[in-house]
Amino acid sequence: MVAEVHRREIPGFDGDLRLEYARFLAKHLGSTQPTRWKLLLMDGCKVHLSANGLAILTAAKVVALMFPSHLSHLLQPCDDEPFLKVKAHAFRSGRAMLPTLPAGSIFTIKQLMIVIAEACPYGLSSVHIINGFKNTGAWPVEVSKVDVTRLLTGMGAGYVSRRFDLNRLMVHLGPEARREMNQPVVSFGSISNCGRAVVATSDGVLAAINELDAAKEVALKAKDARQARTLDARVARAAQLVADERDADQRGNNTSFRRCRDALRSAAQRQKDRLGGTPEYTPVPGAVILREPVRKRIRRA
């Protein structure tokens, strides 16, 4: 099996790896049919929205369409049969491998990769891939393939008895969908695909991503400046404290200051000697000692 393997502390995508993957996609998809446009369906994960990555894809004549959010379990062809079968076969490969391992040994990443290498060709076979596209209505385009009953769960009692025709609804909502797919809505600092499909490589979306990136850049710079200011203030405060301590030491060791202090101490000692050992707390006639009233503790029966 030919595979490109990258290592990261968390085994998932980040911005740099996504860029790498975009290059990988552009290299392979661009070479298949260089003169024709290709459609790439993908979920709306935040990390996929990299301006550079999408620009690379556009250059390779790839148009990326993002699924509406939280609907990949119904619409994503990969999630239908291909990955399901990959995971099922991974268990089978694992079971076949277990008797060959000595008891108590560690199941390492190497063995996991062997399991994956055996499972992927099976799960990602032609039949499973074509079925994945068919079952989700991605190709041939037929949305009525989506299981309607799964669209009515969790929507309350009223929805369960609702009757509708997806094809007619598609025609009815067509103009709205066409308008929305190129007009991004920014929500919580990202492109929102809530209840709508978005063409990620469209000019509008790319412009919005660039704006968001610029805003992020500005915010990052402001944060860096703020942190630098805070750091400077801390350093200055620490230096001031050191200087104050040094000054205090110098003052304590000053000859004139010490002479003055010794004079005051000796005067106080002379005064004590003259009074002849007065106790610290001398009772004064007529004085009343006031104490704070103590609350009575209520005993429970």
Partner 1 sequence: MGGRRRARRAPGGAWAAVATPPQSKKGTRRRLWGVRLTEDMVAKLEAAFATMPVGKTTVAAYLMDATGATRSNVRTWLRNDRLMPRLGRPAFLTEAKEATIFRAMELWTASGGLLTREMLGKLLRDYVHDMGPVREAQAKGYFGDDIVAWKGWFVGFLLRRPELRRVKAARLEEARARAATPEAVAKYGAALTAVTRQYNITSASQVFNTDESIINEADVLRGCGNHAYTTSPTRRQVDFVTPVVQSGADAASVVACICADGTRLSLFSVVRGSGGRLTYAQ
Window 81-140: residues binding partner 1 (CB under 8 A) = 82-83, 86-87, 90-91, 94-95, 98-99, 101, 103-110, 112-117, 120, 124, 126-127, 129-130, 132-133, 137-139
Helix (H) or strand (E) holding 40: strand 38-42
Compute the distance between CA of residue 50 and CA of residue 15 in angstroms, rounded to an integer. Answer: 7
**Whole-number minimum distance, CB 85 to partner 1, in Å?**
11
**Whole-number minimum distance, CB 211 to partner 1, in Å?**
23
Q: Is the dihedral of CA 81, 87, 92, 93 positive or negative?
A: positive
Tokens of 296: 């009575």
Nearer to partner 1, 109 or 231 (CB): 109
Looking at residues 222 to 261 of the shown chain, list those that interact with partner 1 (rule: CB under 8 A). Answer: none
Are the beta carbons of 150 and 136 closer than 8 angstroms? no
Please name the residue that has the structure tokens 């502390």.
Answer: 9
Nearer to partner 1, 116 or 212 (CB): 116
**Whole-number minimum distance, CB 62 to partner 1, in Å?**
8
**Whole-number minimum distance, CB 23 to partner 1, in Å?**
11
Q: Does 34 bind partner 1 (CB under 8 A)?
A: no
Compute the distance between CA of residue 131 and CA of residue 26 in angstroms, rounded to an integer. Answer: 25
Q: Does 2 bind partner 1 (CB under 8 A)?
A: yes
Nearer to partner 1, 139 or 257 (CB): 139
Q: Is the dihedral of CA 213, 215, 218, 224 positive or negative?
A: negative
Q: What DSSP letter does each residue of 11-76 carry, written as one string?
A: SS--HHHHHHHHHHHHHHHHHHSTTS-EEEEE---GGG--HHHHHHHHHTTEEEEEPPTT-HHHH-
Compute the distance between CA of residue 284 and CA of residue 290 in angstroms, rounded to an integer. Answer: 14
Looking at residues 48 to 67 of the shown chain, list those that interact with partner 1 (rule: CB under 8 A). Answer: 62-63, 65, 67
Nearer to partner 1, 12 or 279 (CB): 12
Q: Does 263 bind partner 1 (CB under 8 A)?
A: no
Looking at residues 166 to 225 of the shown chain, list those that interact with partner 1 (rule: CB under 8 A). Answer: 166, 169-174, 176-178, 180-181, 194-197, 199
